[in-house]
Structure 1
């Protein structure tokens, strides 16, 4: 996916199968280490009862880390000056069980939840020490291109409205609104005070 430079360093973003498993685990620290990016995919109930080791095993199988020739993967990994710094879970929307099963993203919407041409950005994690550098902006932009290259006709995000307030990173794993706006997403619905459903059309 290439790289870009700014005052924060050289940013390089790759499909997660082109990253090492050790690099991905370096990003997933704190609550993210316990989650292993499985809550959005499995849904709350199945995720809650699954041991962390099993969540990790599922993630490793899904990402195909350390296998650059793999034809499938479920996300992208960002590096800053070759240090692992960020992760984005991006895949077909229907595979995210928590998104599919929650009433929030579907409020005031009537569409096929199983439409495989619609992708979703379900999680954005920036490693401690690399935060507040704007890394979510290139991550969202790269996720869009990742989905487009794999046949998506549109892509969604479910960012949090911060209203200029400081929000802990545990809450921000869906990302803030700004990076989605910068990548051309538009609001579809505003189902709760703090959550927005946003979409970008990729068909043209």
Structure 2
């Protein structure tokens, strides 16, 4: 499938059921429900599963949309968490590959992060990740973002699809992202100026 065959929309409360269907009853990444970069591990771990789902649903209901969903026809087939760096404080941790640079501080809500991908089995390797990223960039622009950054896996890292939750470097490079730092081996910090 070509990435143009996927529609991408921000995750609003009306689309919550689609995200639940995509993630399944346990949620992706052992029940994380996209809270991994939103809170420290000591707070996150006790919530895995139902608690994490409830916390994420409350976040979606409050707004703004914390990311985008990709659809094949009426079925959600992919998710990308994208939004201001300030909304994912653990992504800004100084020990991470995604540590902010002085010219793009986390406190500036115009500096966005594309932090977590999830693609439904059966749709992996079919262009969903590229479609999600294109939709996320459009969403960021429409929301007044100045830039979007990602700490992708470089193309030499051959991990499982689940291990690529941060996205492969090649997808970002095709979308025009450029490397601005390499704070950890195998994990370039990539940026797209909007």
TM category, shorter: 0.7 to 0.9
Q: Deviations over 1:46-74 (max 9, x none)?
A: 2123242121112112223xxxxx86211
Residues 122, 108 of structure 1: CA spacing in aligned structure 2 closer, same or farther, 3 A cutoff?
closer
Name the CA distance, whole Å, in 2 between partners of 1:73 and 1:40. 16
Match of residue 20 from structure 1:
15
* Residue ranges of structure 2 left out of the alignment (5+ in a row): none
TM-score under structure 2 length normalisation: 0.87
Say whether the 8 Å CA contact 1:40–1:96 is kept in structure 2.
yes
Name the CA distance, whole Å, in 2 between partners of 1:163 and 1:147. 29
Number of residue equivalences: 191
Name the CA distance, whole Å, in 2 between partners of 1:175 and 1:32. 14
Shift of residue 22 of structure 1?
2.5
Say whether the 8 Å CA contact 1:86–1:127 is kept in structure 2.
yes
| Partner residue of 1:127 out of 114, 120, 141 | 120
Please provide the CA RMSD for this pair. Answer: 2.3
Name the CA distance, whole Å, in 2 between partners of 1:74 and 1:106. 18
Shift of residue 21 of structure 1?
2.2
Q: Deviations over 1:157-178 (max 9, x none)?
A: 111113173x212211100011
Say whether the 8 Å CA contact 1:25–1:33 is kept in structure 2.
no
| Partner residue of 2:32 out of 35, 57, 61 | 35
| Partner residue of 2:184 out of 188, 192, 195 | 192
Name the CA distance, whole Å, in 2 between partners of 1:95 and 1:175. 19
Deviates more, 1:184-193 or 1:8-17: 8-17
TM-score under structure 1 length normalisation: 0.83
| Partner residue of 2:137 out of 122, 132, 144 | 144
Say whether the 8 Å CA contact 2:172–2:190 is kept in structure 1.
yes
Q: Secondary structure at the match of 2:112?
A: strand
Q: Deviations over 1:100-119 (max 9, x none)?
A: 22422366943533111101
Name the CA distance, whole Å, in 2 between partners of 1:106 and 1:79. 28
Match of residue 84 from structure 1:
76
Match of residue 101 from structure 1:
93
